[in-house]
Structure 1
Amino acid sequence: MREKIGIIPGSFDPVTKGHLDIITRASGLFDKVIVSVLNNRTKNPLFSAEERVKLIEKTVESLDNVEVDQFDGLLIDYVRQKNAKAIIKGLRAVSDFEYELQMASINQKLDKQVETVFMMTSPEYAYLSSSIVKELAKYHAHTQDLVPECVEDALNKKFNKEL
């Protein structure tokens, strides 16, 4: 029987407790979960793709069936390369669903063998985004309830350098 592999793609700039909620729950549904950092050269992220991979690796080290990788290009090509069965997307609100539905439809058109699985984030993280975390950290607000400790440390280092 083919191993059930799910891909969780995203920018993860930085990874939040909301992301970890989805990753942890997905790890219980799939034989293997690959958290894939999108290396989008058109954006100007706070953390490099390599830094994001390392931060995610630290936060998921207790999850035996989760690995972390990075990619660029079309997601569907990456999914095929990894022999994955599903793309896993976390949803916070209706606005997320509208965009993700479009992406799922395009991916389904490109490859009917790959499903998109939508997971609602847990209510305590429904408001949380990487953008909010970066904005708070920029002004030295506490983020310990929003991100893992290693991410909070990395954020503090980034923003203290810019002072």
Structure 2
Amino acid sequence: MVVKESIRYSKAEDRIFGLETLPKVNTITKKPVIANQLLCFIIHGISTKYVIPASYYFHKKLSSKELHKLALEVLQLLAECQFMVVRIVGDNHKNNVALFKHFGNGCLQTCIPHPFSVGLKLFFSFDYCHLIKNARNIFLDHDMASEDGIISANYLRELAEIQGNLVVKPVRY
């Protein structure tokens, strides 16, 4: 999630807010970095309806290797707390694709043996809402081709134009 870059000092807590909170080795010479993104790991129940933030980090730039390390730490902590994590879901941002590849030893796989729960599998999936949105955006930019000819996005473009300024959109996605 993108957040506004700003720092704030809390006199009551004698603390500065808005800086990176990633668990990195800080040296004396390293300048503080103002965060502009939020990474949040959320656990979501399958058989029960609960949503719990498991961990969150403010950061400026996060590599896929750092994301993989953080995901492993969160998975391990959740396993220690007796949560059975069966699936990791993310949008199809390049860091999330790379994260899934890190778990699959360089290959994009749908599941692997769970790293912290013997006998369980850990599944990976992309959030379908983001996939539909990305397909729509690509289709708005380009026509597609099939064996039968060109698949035109003219109707989709017209629909997007018609309901572009409407508060309630009759046709979603």
Structure label with greater radius of gyration: 2
Judging by fraction of residues, say which structure has more strand. Answer: 2
Quick check: TM above 0.5? no
TM-score of the pair, normalised by structure 2: 0.30
Comparing both chains, which one has the higher relative contact order based on Cα–Cα distances under 8 Å and sequence gaps of 6 or more?
1
TM-score of the pair, normalised by structure 1: 0.32
